[in-house]
Structure 1
Amino acid sequence: MTNTNTSNSNTDLAGISIVVTGASSGIGLAMAEGLLRAGARVALASRPGVKLDNQVKRLKSSGLDVYGLPMDVRSETSIADSVEWVQRTWGKLDVLVNNAGIGMRTVNKRFLIEPLPFFQVTPEGFRNLIDTNLTGYFLVARGFTPLMIRQGHGKIINITMNQETMRRTGFIPYGPAGSGAESLSYIMAEDLLPYGISVNMLLPGGATDTGMIPEDLRGQIKSPLLRPRVMVEPIVFLASSKSDGLTAEKINALEFSKWLSKYDN
Structure 2
Amino acid sequence: MNQTYSNIDLSGINIVVTGASSGLGLAMAEGLLRAGATVALASKPGVKLDNQINRLKTAGLKAYGLPMDVRSEVSIAESAEWIRRTWGKLDVLVNNAGIGMRTVNPKFMIEPQPFFLVTPDGFRNLIDTNLTGYFLVAREFAPLMIKQGYGKIINITMNHETMQRKGFIPYGPSRAGTESLSYIMAEDLRPYGITVNMLLPGGATDTGMIPEELKSKINVPLLRPRIMVEPIIFLASNKSDGITGERISALEFSEWLNKANF
Alignment of 1:57-68 (within 5 A): 57-68=54-65
Give, in angstroms, the shift of residue 5 of structure 1: 4.6
Partner residue of 2:165? 168
Asked whether the 8 Å contact 1:230–1:254 carries over to 2, the reply is yes
1:147 aligns with 2:147: no
Asked whether the 8 Å contact 1:205–1:254 carries over to 2, the reply is yes
Partner residue of 1:43? 40
Give the whole-Å Cα distance in 2 for the aligned partners of 1:160 and 1:8: 21
Partner residue of 2:251? 254
Q: 1:104 aligns with which of 101, 126, 130?
A: 101
Moved more, 242-251 or 213-222: 213-222
TM-superposition CA deviations, 1:144-195 (whole Å, max 9, x none): 0000000000000000011100000100000000000000000000000000
TM-superposition CA deviations, 1:200-234 (whole Å, max 9, x none): 00000000011111122113322111000000000
Asked whether the 8 Å contact 2:155–2:198 carries over to 1, the reply is yes
Alignment of 1:53-132 (within 5 A): 53-132=50-129
Matched letter for residue 103 of structure 2: T
Give the whole-Å Cα distance in 2 for the aligned partners of 1:197 and 1:142: 13
Q: 1:33 aligns with which of 20, 30, 35?
A: 30
Matched letter for residue 23 of structure 1: A
Give the whole-Å Cα distance in 2 for the aligned partners of 1:203 and 1:154: 20
Give the whole-Å Cα distance in 1 for the aligned partners of 2:193 and 2:133: 23
Q: 2:240 aligns with which of 240, 243, 250?
A: 243
Give the whole-Å Cα distance in 2 for the aligned partners of 1:201 and 1:12: 22
Q: RMSD of the alignment, in Å?
A: 1.3
Asked whether the 8 Å contact 1:4–1:242 carries over to 2, the reply is no
TM-superposition CA deviations, 1:15-69 (whole Å, max 9, x none): 0000000000000000000000001000000000000000000000111011000
Partner residue of 1:8? 6
What secondary structure is seen at the aligned counterpart in 1 of 2:254? Answer: helix
Asked whether the 8 Å contact 1:134–1:180 carries over to 2, the reply is yes
Give the whole-Å Cα distance in 2 for the aligned partners of 1:144 and 1:203: 22
1:264 aligns with 2:242: no
What secondary structure is seen at the aligned counterpart in 2 of 1:44? Answer: strand
Asked whether the 8 Å contact 2:153–2:195 carries over to 1, the reply is yes
Give the whole-Å Cα distance in 2 for the aligned partners of 1:152 and 1:244: 13
Partner residue of 2:214? 217
Give, in angstroms, the shift of residue 4 of structure 1: 9.3
Change (3 A) 1:223 1:231: same
Q: Report the TM-score when normalising by structure 2.
A: 0.98
User: In the comparison of the two structures, how many residue pairs are matched?
Assistant: 262
Change (3 A) 1:85 1:6: farther
Give the whole-Å Cα distance in 2 for the aligned partners of 1:202 and 1:153: 20
Give the whole-Å Cα distance in 1 for the aligned partners of 2:145 and 2:69: 21
What secondary structure is seen at the aligned counterpart in 1 of 2:220? Answer: coil
Give, in angstroms, the shift of residue 8 of structure 1: 3.4
Matched letter for residue 14 of structure 1: S
Give the whole-Å Cα distance in 1 for the aligned partners of 2:3 and 2:40: 25
Give, in angstroms, the shift of residue 264 of structure 1: 2.2
Q: Report the TM-score when normalising by structure 1.
A: 0.96
Structure 2's unaligned 5+ residue stretches are: none
Identity %: 77
Runs ≥4 in structure 1, deviation > 4 angstroms? Answer: none
